[in-house]
Structure 1
């Protein structure tokens, strides 16, 4: 079975972590774009389409749930994974209720993340 995910948007305000994730996923054959704010993510989404959006929960201008809702409303075919360093069952449940396809707590194991992406 071919990997259905080829283009990924990462929205993460921790620049070092974001760039590390971008490099890791690029080396594993994905086309990756990244943004550090919701506002810049929306700009990127208007210019290009993505198979998967990986969203940090806590961002400077909005939270990941807000972005998730907008992505699912405007781009229903895009899968969404929410990541947060706060292992919070309430946030996880809300994310899944709003249509998230996956929820991952930080610290993220890159191999596990890759496995989850490949299972989508």
Structure 2
């Protein structure tokens, strides 16, 4: 990545995921802001220009059909077309649009079937996305 500091917004309702993604992004040299809910994320987006947004699809784990993160991704693509986006979920069944038709730079399953979260793959994807 270039020597210019890159800024990332991480939106996830689960503290452990926020902390882990923040740590991985900081290891890549990014300055990271965390949002725990949609309102916080929208306020941060209004106040600051981010290079990357890492968004969880479901922001209320108990609500099966909650896809607020997906809605924010569409809003970001409309309002900030140059911002890169990574969409993450542990609940792929909640997304009705085929993943390859979503306007995201990368779609990541938090826990792929029969596997675990791939830390190095995540960081490699971040480097590639911010380089393009």
Flag whether TM exceeds 0.5 (same fold): yes
| Unaligned stretches of 5+ residues in structure 2 | 61-65, 112-116
Q: Is the 8 A contact 2:5 2:29 kept in 1?
A: no
Question: How high is the TM-score relative to the length of structure 1?
Answer: 0.85
- Pairwise CA RMSD: 2.5
Question: How high is the TM-score relative to the length of structure 2?
Answer: 0.78
Q: Deviations over 1:78-104 (max 9, x none)?
A: 01110001244955725x534111100
**Structure 1 residue 101 corresponds to structure 2 residue 118:** no
Q: Is the 8 A contact 1:54 1:82 kept in 2?
A: yes
Q: Deviations over 1:57-83 (max 9, x none)?
A: 101375221001111111111011100
Q: 1:119 aligns with which of 112, 122, 128?
A: 128
Q: Which residue of 1 aligns with 2:91?
A: 86
| Unaligned stretches of 5+ residues in structure 1 | none
Change (3 A) 1:36 1:90: closer
Q: Is the 8 A contact 1:11 1:34 kept in 2?
A: yes
Aligned mates of 1:37, 1:62 — CA distance in 2: 12
Larger Rg: 2
How many pairs were matched up?
Answer: 119
